[in-house]
Amino acid sequence: MILHIYSENPHLLDIINKNPETDNGLYLKPLKDGVAIGNAVSVHQYDIYFQDGGHSYTEEIGNQLDYQSLCNPLIVLHLSTDFLGHILKESSEYLAQELKWLGKTRGEVDPSTCKITVPNFYIYSSWYRDGAFLLSKYFKEIKVRNKVGNNFELAIEGKTVFQAVNMLNLVALFAQLTNEKGLFTYIDDSFASKYVRVLTNIEGVPYFVLYLFIKRAVKNKTQFEMVKPLLENYLAKYGIVANLTNEDTQLSRIGFITEAIGIDLPVLDIGCGEFAYYKRLMNRGLEQEYFAVDKEIHLERLGQNIMDRLDADNLKFSTDLTKVPKDKKLNIIISEVIEHNTPEDALALVKKALTFNFEKIVISTPNADFNQFYFDNGFRHSDHHFEFTQTEFKDFIASCTAFRLDLDIRFDQVGDELNGLKPTQIVVIEKNKNHEN
């Protein structure tokens, strides 16, 4: 593993507390079963190496080719802690610290761009797909180039040394947390505290990256309560009033819908997917029949396996909505389904659901008004035919329920709240008991 740190700034070595006159520019210290080496190449370049003496970053001790010691993201985090830890301090503390031998602060001597290159960097996760790395979508300063297999060259360009080093650690952190077989990552309170500081040291981090940090690097409620005000204050600097939650958007949606549906009546789940709502309702004590409808026939076997595991027999799977009895009173879920159809087909689907003997219908769909916090334009998924704004969704439901005076209709949102907007919008359509026959 090698890190190349380069800047035209003549004070690069001052910033990272390295003196080329000491030990002929070399600094050595033990790291796990190997040795870490710092080398002041020139006034403009500092390199950090790791030479492993064993299998410090792999469990495959029988493998003679220990390539993980050459490219594991965790090594980047450890080298940064040992050699660059003072640059990972809170930004105001870092910028105000005086370099007494220069009579200036770090902020005064760190105004120039900095490039950090990692020639061999391991990425083995869904975050690299179709030739693109997810974080590169949100930070133009991050570039990865595939060399062979899961081995990449990583390049970070920051406006300052401080920005570049913190950005490097952010990339290494996410790569380590998302890589398959990401070993040796124990996330305790100090770990979460350190890396939320790294995250908020970086300028202009978009909301979705903060969201990913909470979901990947925050492991319990205590840690969430610790990082929540820090991240909300960070967003406030960019004019975003936030109320962050400790659940991902899907779990928030499942929680809201299962609470609204309850367990007193049979359930019809249109577009059931992998039975997330069935499993949650079974955990709540559902004994009624659960009619699951999806066009993917292979889900039938998955449903049977889930029933076997739960020792249940109430799941009725079908690929045909017409096979569900219309005379049975039930509650209906249509969650993240309508947007996978054309608007005309979505309208027909909801109208068909309204012909059942239902007490409640709960429909969820992405809130396009929230997409501004994800990206500049486009849909959240490539297979979406549309994504409604809140106004458009209300108009759509009005078209579906026209002339139905027997219905009470309530709209809501779930998930993180940013400037009054949440990522998922929901409508609960309920039979008005005063109009029941």
Does 205 share its domain with 230? Answer: yes
- Which residue range is the domain that position 105 belongs to? 2-185
Distance CA 148, CA 75 (A): 20
pLDDT for 20: 63
- The CATH number of whichever domain residue 363 belongs to comes to 3.40.50.150
Does 227 share its domain with 261? Answer: no
Does 350 share its domain with 281? Answer: yes
Does 423 share its domain with 275? Answer: yes
Q: Which residue has the higher pLDDT, 239 or 68?
A: 239
Q: Is the pLDDT of residue 244 over 90?
A: yes
Counts of helices then strands in the chain (DSSP H, E): 15, 20
Distance CA 145, CA 130 (A): 12
Does 122 share its domain with 202? Answer: no
- Whether 316 contacts 346, CB under 8 Å: no
Of 56-65, 156-165, 200-209, 317-326, give the lowest mean pLDDT range.
56-65
Does 117 share its domain with 179? Answer: yes
Does 287 share its domain with 361? Answer: yes
User: And the tokens for 65?
Assistant: 């080719």
pLDDT for 388: 96
Distance CA 203, CA 201 (A): 7
pLDDT digits (tens, 9 = 90+) for 286-338: 999 999 999 999 999 999 999 999 999 999 999 999 999 999 999 999 999 99
Q: Categorize the per-residue pLDDT at 182 as very low, low, confident or very high, splitting at 50, 70 and 90.
A: low
Domain assignment of residue 124, yes or no? yes
Does 268 share its domain with 401? Answer: yes
Distance CA 351, CA 120 (A): 55
Distance CA 280, CA 299 (A): 17
Domain count, the chain: 3
Domain assignment of residue 437, yes or no? no
pTM: 0.88
Q: In sequence order, which residues have a C-beta less than 8 Å from that of residue 287 and are 6 or more positions away?
A: 263, 314
Domain assignment of residue 418, yes or no? yes
Q: Is 418 left (phi over 0), alpha (psi -120 to 50) or beta?
A: beta
Q: Which residue has the higher pLDDT, 375 or 351?
A: 351
